[in-house]
């Protein structure tokens, strides 16, 4: 018993030492499209709140909805929900955070019938529910919370320059142009595309934090896809400006680091056999990657000649976060092939990818 008590104290001390994550304004489409990014993050979301005949509480925006778990009273109609987003597939069945819940009644999970996959069962664990007011003048926060209200409209926003998502404000990039960058204000952030961040007497750095925090004014037409919103600023301009006088919009956002990138899929898959020697290799990542860091950090080996280099070319596709390796000549038949992603590969927000290895066997 004494050992268990000491273990509890150690765990509690570790948790209290961790910095609290900043709440992020977002929307339901973003949560459902990027469950890994938002898992366990505090968020604020706006939508129509309704309790179904079954007793389940649902929040709906633009035709998509999410389960809300809350024990107190619930306002009807348009509501602002503050809480933590959970992807139940990311937990283990015996996770202590689930002890106080009836898994079947609350989340529709039968513990005896197999645990859900990542992204299959999601919920907002609400701390507060309050009536929300309709969106007003366009701002980064209003656009993120109410995207359909401003979709396909030209708007002007003021926010802090965030470079190419250098601070991990958003789960991925729209990959529309080579100049895509983030602007951020209060607890929200949005992409700007098709606009180089420079003017008559300034040029802001996309890939270094030296200019993050400078306030800019940008105009563009709101577009969205894959759970992301962005301003298409083609033909527009960017100007340096001052922080708004509204205190709610002036605080510099301090956010916890986003999860480091990881490999989520490969073709061939690890351990696959009878792979055609003429096949290429495709590796997909969970986060946007810095393609320059692949150089010199990829290695391909054939078991028959492990020290002999295997010539290949690479192509990184930012829209899908896929790295493709094409070989200069067919791989050796009936051979074990190993592909190594070595230390030093990083995401666009400077988070490192852990070294990773793919092994498969070729056939005839």
Task: Measure CA 3 to chain center.
Answer: 39
CATH annotation of 140-250: 2.40.50.140
pLDDT value at residue 72: 81
| Architecture field, domain 263-361 | Sandwich (2.60)
Measured between alpha carbons, how far is 229 from 146 in angstroms, rounded to an integer?
11
pLDDT value at residue 252: 43
pLDDT value at residue 323: 96
CATH annotation of 2-131: 2.40.50.200
pLDDT value at residue 18: 37
Compute the Cα dihedral for 297, 302, 304, 310 and give only its sign: negative
pLDDT value at residue 1: 42
Reply yes or no: is the peptide bond before residue 31 cis, omega within 30 of 0.
Answer: no
Measured between alpha carbons, how far is 94 from 208 in angstroms, rounded to an integer?
42
The pTM assigned to this predicted structure is 0.66
pLDDT value at residue 9: 36
Task: Give, for all 364 residues of the chain, the pLDDT tens digit.
Answer: 444 333 333 333 333 333 346 789 999 999 999 999 999 999 999 999 999 999 899 999 999 999 999 988 888 789 999 999 999 999 999 899 999 999 999 999 988 888 999 999 999 999 999 999 887 889 999 999 999 999 999 999 999 999 999 989 999 999 999 999 999 988 999 999 999 999 888 899 998 888 887 999 999 999 999 999 999 999 888 999 988 775 444 344 444 456 788 998 999 999 999 999 999 999 999 877 889 999 999 999 998 888 888 999 999 987 678 999 999 999 999 999 999 999 999 987 788 999 999 999 999 8
Residue 13: CB atoms within 10 A of its CB come to: 9
Q: Domain ranges in the chain?
A: 2-131, 140-250, 263-361
Measured between alpha carbons, how far is 89 from 87 in angstroms, rounded to an integer?
5
What Cα–Cα distance (Å) separates residue 302 from each residue in 13, 84, 294, 341?
A: 48, 46, 20, 15
Do domains 140-250 and 263-361 share one topology? The answer is no
Q: Please answer whether residues 122 and 43 qualify as being in contact, where contact means their C-beta atoms are separated by less than 8 angstroms.
A: no
Measured between alpha carbons, how far is 196 from 219 in angstroms, rounded to an integer?
13
Q: Show the tokens assigned to 1.
A: 């018993």
SS3 224: strand
pLDDT value at residue 246: 59
Cα Rg of the chain (Å, integer): 23
């Amino acid at each position: 018993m004494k050992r268990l008590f000491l273990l509890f104290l150690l765990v509690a001390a570790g948790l209290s030492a961790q910095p609290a994550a900043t709440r992020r304004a977002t929307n339901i489409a973003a949560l459902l499209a990027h469950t890994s990014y938002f898992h366990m993050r505090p968020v604020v979301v706006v939508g129509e709140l309704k309790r179904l005949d079954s007793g389940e509480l649902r929040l709906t925006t633009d035709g998509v909805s999410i389960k809300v778990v809350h024990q107190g009273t619930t306002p009807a109609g348009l509501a602002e929900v503050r809480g933590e987003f959970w992807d139940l597939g990311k937990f283990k069945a015996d996770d202590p955070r689930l002890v106080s819940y009836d898994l079947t009644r609350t989340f529709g999970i039968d513990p005896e019938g197999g645990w859900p996959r990542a992204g299959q069962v999601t919920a907002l664990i609400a701390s507060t529910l309050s009536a929300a007011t309709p969106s007003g003048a366009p701002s980064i926060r209003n656009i993120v919370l109410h995207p359909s209200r401003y979709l396909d409209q030209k708007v002007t926003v003021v926010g802090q320059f965030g470079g190419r998502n250098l601070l991990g404000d958003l789960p991925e990039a729209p990959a529309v142009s080579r100049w895509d960058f983030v602007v951020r204000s209060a607890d929200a952030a949005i992409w700007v595309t098709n606009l180089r961040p420079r003017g008559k007497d300034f040029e802001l750095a996309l890939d270094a934090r030296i200019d993050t925090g400078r306030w800019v004014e940008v105009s563009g037409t709101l577009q969205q896809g894959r759970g992301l919103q962005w301003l298409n600023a083609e033909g527009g301009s960017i100007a340096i400006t001052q922080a708004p006088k509204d205190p709610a919009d002036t605080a510099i956002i301090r956010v916890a680091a986003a999860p480091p990138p990881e490999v989520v899929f490969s073709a061939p898959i690890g351990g696959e056999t009878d792979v055609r020697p003429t096949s290429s290799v495709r590796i997909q990542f969970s986060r946007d990657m810095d393609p320059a860091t692949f150089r010199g950090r990829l290695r391909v080996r054939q078991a028959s000649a492990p020290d002999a280099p295997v010539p290949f070319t690479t192509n990184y596709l930012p829209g899908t976060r896929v790295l493709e390796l094409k070989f200069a000549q067919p791989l050796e038949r009936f051979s074990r092939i190993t592909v190594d992603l070595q230390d030093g590969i990083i995401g666009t927000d400077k988070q490192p990818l852990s070294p990773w290895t793919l092994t498969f066997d070729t056939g005839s």
